[in-house]
Chain A
Amino acid sequence: MSTGLTTGATGARRRRGRYLLRRLGQSAIVLGIVLLLQFTLIHLAPGDIADVIAGDVQSDDPEFIIQLRRDLGLDQPLPIQFAFYVGRLLTLDLGTSHAFNMPVLTLILDRLPATLLLMFSAIALAFVAGAALGTIAAAFRGRWPDVLVTISALLFYATPVFLVGIGLILIFTVWLRWLPMSGMYVTWVQHTWWSLAVDIARHLIMPAVSLSLFFVAIYTRLMRATMLEVLSQDYVRTAWAKGLSPSRVVLRHAARNALLPMVTMLGLQVGSLLGGAVLVETVFGWPGIGRLAFEAVFRRDVPLVLGILFFSSVLVLMVNLLVDLLYTRLDPRIVLR
């Protein structure tokens, strides 16, 4: 009996190890494809960084541009440029940004924490608010709380994120003067760690809310639909029949099981969350990676664009892997294969 159990546990561990290895292998392939696609796409756009720099300095010297292209290696054929890039990447060298003349890694690491903070605040907010609102809507199906929640969700879903941002600024900054509207913290005062945390939190409120509203809408609708389905299941009827209180039936028995699709959605949404971050970071001057990507594309700064994409892809792949692992915790019936 006991031997059997041990073998079972070892087997599960071995399965999990194999699973992880295979997933990591797949991720590497996906990464390669993403980089190749992005490299191709950015070169399909007309113009290069030399055009941009020459435009900035208003150079009337053709030799200047030729020299610039030579210095940056832009005079090489594209496949060779790509091969060089991948070769360097394999030694974990992301190269130097052409526009900033600085290591890409430094630029990204400078900006990554801000974006991660924004993303995880937004997703946490969306998840909690969506689960709560969806549960309320399902529990009061067809009555006024349901109608209110459904209409709000539709409104959140349909409003572009930058419009939400500007709206919040007009209300909370220009009119009420409660919240700061740009940046991540006040830069010119000496902060203690506590005052810095408070300052960042105050700056974070509006960007996080703007970014999350769309996802609140999605999670609300998803939660409501799943809850309705779960509430009609036999075991819930049994729970009612046992005479349990409504809150206990809804929260303990139904809601917990309704969370599974929400977690799936969470993994899928990380990518689009990064997309939304570009807009939110622009409106609120949030010093994150989304805006850096935006600027890099417009300056045709290929190493920086690829570097940011590499990091974002790794982030999305990691989150999805985590979500898959989380399934087995939430629902022990799911087995990794």
Chain B
Amino acid sequence: MTKPVLHTLSRRAILRGAAVASVAALLPLPRGAFAQSPVSGGTLTIALPTEPQHFNSAMDSTQQVKIIAGKIFSGLLRYDLDMNPLPDLAESWEVADDGLSITFNLRQGVKWHDGTPFTARDVEYSVMRGFGQNNGLVRSVFAPVTEVETPDDHTAILRLSVPSPAIMMALPVATATILPAHIYDNGGNIRENPANQAPIGTGPFRFVEWQRGNAVILERNPDYFEPGLPYLDRIVFALIPDSQSRGAAIEAGQIDMVYHSTAAASDARRLGDLPHLSLSTDGYLFDSTVCFAEFNMAHPILGKTEVRQAIAHVIDKQFILDNIWMGFGGVANTPIHRNLTHAHTDDAPSYPLDLEEAGRRLDEAGYPRGSDGVRFRVTIEFTPFGDQYNRMAQYIRQQLAQIGVVAEVRSQDFPGWVRRIWTDRDWDINVSAITNASDPTIGVQRAYWTENIRPGTPFTNSTHYSNADLDALFVAAAQENDPEARRAQFVEIQQILMTDLPVIPLVAIDQFTIATRRLNNYDQLSDGVYAGFADAWLEG
């Protein structure tokens, strides 16, 4: 059940960096180091930063929905930390050589929490009308699926019009939630189904109660398809909306876990070093997020490539990583997160901090300093996801001032920001982030693809950058069955993007979890805390 200790340690050490690892050697061993055999029982309390509106992660994979839904539902596959697929509802699978069909052999004897047997029809419904239609993040990946054949109750065959290799990387419970067809497939609107608030899944935990504004309670599913699992009796999601309070609560031992970096980053390392707590950045591969400064390509000055390249020279990414993200992540050399090892490259143009070079390039581009020392004025917006984005915007404003570009930072709440960026398009520079998910076809293409210029629709191509060569590469990569050829396409894509610079990637963010040391096996999968916790257990 438990993963080999050595593996845990080495990966941990690599991700934390050598300096932290050497300190870690002096500290108590990471949890799991004494891992005896797992113990059954216990209640795990997880701090929930935001109240979810429902528990249907097939149509909305925000973190507060999927952390809960992931325990109640199952997906077709799980993934180990190196993204190798493992069985979940699918026992085995086979991708045809031409990539045009994928066969899943489903586990037998699985029951929904209401006792109805799980069959291939549930898979068909979920792919064709569940997550395949409603989850914006993976919709494009599943778009080539023309039908799901169900020759018997335990076989589901996806037929594709063109190959879509990203599908095999997009099937964890958190994004590709398998829904009960007998409850959802009734001709009604999926958003209005009452089961969204009282979910019925096949996962290791059953929904018990939603105390609005207070807590969500799940209990062990005694009929879970893996015998003997889960170990935990109960999971309580306690709503704690304030980040300082979350930090205090875990420090005082009143809760067992803070996930997805929802304690103050400045406090996280201190908390992680406390004897009863541990800090982990594992298990967030599906949330691989890169933050960046992006440009409105319609801007008369910022629309010019030379200007954007000049501006790139004023930004010290390492400074941002160390001082704003407190070291949680890596410098982003391209818009593809380094976690996506099958696609990421460092072999792309870079723009080291050099204020003189920046000034020289702006002079050449035809924007010399005026008599008042000012070259031109711009505005900077930032996404209201967290304080870091405000600070990055302020940092860029300060750096721009040094080369004679006067920037004004404006702030707004989430709906206001969405309106401004995608509908009103009244912005110059925007400091934001996008999740790459597990593959660039899912989480990178959408930001640069010409077809995805869709005013009024959030998280589509916001810069209105358009490059026919790049479009062709993205489309080819989305359908490329050969991993080597696909990687080459992604490398070229990154080189083009780092030359044209519609965005300046800043930091490839590592999300962190703070958990009690008594908790084992919560971060051993690529979708870590969002997976089912079937084999997570608490030391007595």
Contact = CB atoms under 8 A, between A and B. Distances in A.
A181 B254 contact: yes
A181 B454 CA distance: 45
Nearest to A47: B415
A111 B212 contact: yes
A295 B51 contact: yes
Given A60-B140, A177-B252, A188 B236 contact: yes
Contacts of A283: 242, 244-245
A53 B217 CA distance: 25
Nearest to B219: A188
A30 B407 CA distance: 44
Interface string B10-48: 000000000000000000000000000000000101000
Interface string B238-250: 1111101100110
A173 interface: yes
A65 B236 contact: no
Interface in A123-158: none
A102 B197 CA distance: 9
Interface in A46-76: 46-49, 51-62, 64-65, 71
Nearest to B140: A60
A48 B454 contact: no
A184 B140 CA distance: 43
Interface stretch (B131-139, B340-348, B517-525): B131-139
B214 A46 contact: no
A51 to B, nearest CB: 4
Given A60-B446, A60-B454, A61-B139, A101 B412 contact: no
A45 B415 contact: yes
A222 B418 CA distance: 47
Contact of B213 (A62, A71, A110): A110
B425 interface: no
Contacts of B189: 71
Interface stretch (B74-82, B310-318, B326-334, B457-465): B457-465
B213 A291 contact: yes
A52 B418 contact: yes
A319 interface: no
A174 B248 contact: yes
Contacts of B51: 295
Contacts of A162: 242
B452 interface: yes
Given A169-B248, A174-B251, A174-B252, A183 B424 contact: no
B265 interface: no
A287 interface: yes
A53 B59 CA distance: 10
A46 B251 CA distance: 39
B192 A101 contact: yes
Nearest to B246: A182
A96 to B, nearest CB: 10
A95 to B, nearest CB: 15
Contacts of A181: 245, 248-249, 252, 254
B53 interface: yes
A46 B457 contact: no
B319 interface: no
A48 B415 contact: yes
B238 A61 contact: no
Nearest to A295: B51
B100 interface: no
B414 interface: yes
Contact of A46 (B45, B412, B458): B412
Contact of A182 (B60, B137, B240): B240
A173 B415 contact: no
Nearest to A66: B456
Nearest to A177: B252
A20 interface: no
B416 interface: yes
Contacts of A174: 248, 251-252
Contact of A99 (B53, B245, B423): B53
B457 A182 contact: no
Contacts of A173: 248-249, 252, 254
Contacts of A61: 136, 139, 457
B416 A183 contact: no
Contact of B135 (A54, A57, A99, A288): A57
Contacts of A60: 136, 139-140, 446, 452, 454, 457, 459-460
Nearest to B62: A56
B248 A51 contact: no
Contacts of B240: 182-183, 285
A114 interface: yes
A291 B192 contact: no
B420 interface: yes
A285 B139 contact: no
A226 interface: no
A101 B282 CA distance: 34
B419 interface: yes
A120 to B, nearest CB: 18
B206 interface: no
B413 interface: yes
B411 to A, nearest CB: 12
A19 interface: no
A187 interface: yes
Contacts of A169: 244-245, 248
B215 A51 contact: no
B196 interface: yes
Contacts of A188: 43, 45, 215, 217, 234, 236
B455 to A, nearest CB: 8
B331 to A, nearest CB: 26
Contacts of A177: 252
Interface string A92-133: 000000011110000100110010000000000000000000
Interface string B97-141: 000000000000000000000000000000000000011110110
A180 interface: yes
B191 interface: yes
A182 B254 contact: yes
B245 A62 contact: no
Interface of B: 43, 45, 51, 53-54, 59-62, 134-137, 139-140, 189, 191-192, 196-197, 211-215, 217, 234, 236, 238-242, 244-245, 248-249, 251-252, 254-255, 412-420, 423-424, 446, 452, 454, 456-460
Given A177-B252, A182-B245, 6 more contacts: A47-B413, A51-B458, A181-B245, A187-B238, A282-B241, A288-B213
21 contacts: A47-B416, A48-B415, A51-B458, A52-B418, A54-B457, A57-B135, A59-B457, A62-B454, A64-B457, A71-B189, A99-B53, A169-B244, A173-B248, A173-B254, A187-B215, A188-B217, A283-B242, A285-B214, A285-B238, A285-B239, A287-B213
**9 residue pairs, one from A and one from B, having the closest CB atoms:** A47-B415, A287-B213, A59-B136, A58-B136, A47-B419, A287-B214, A46-B419, A46-B416, A51-B418
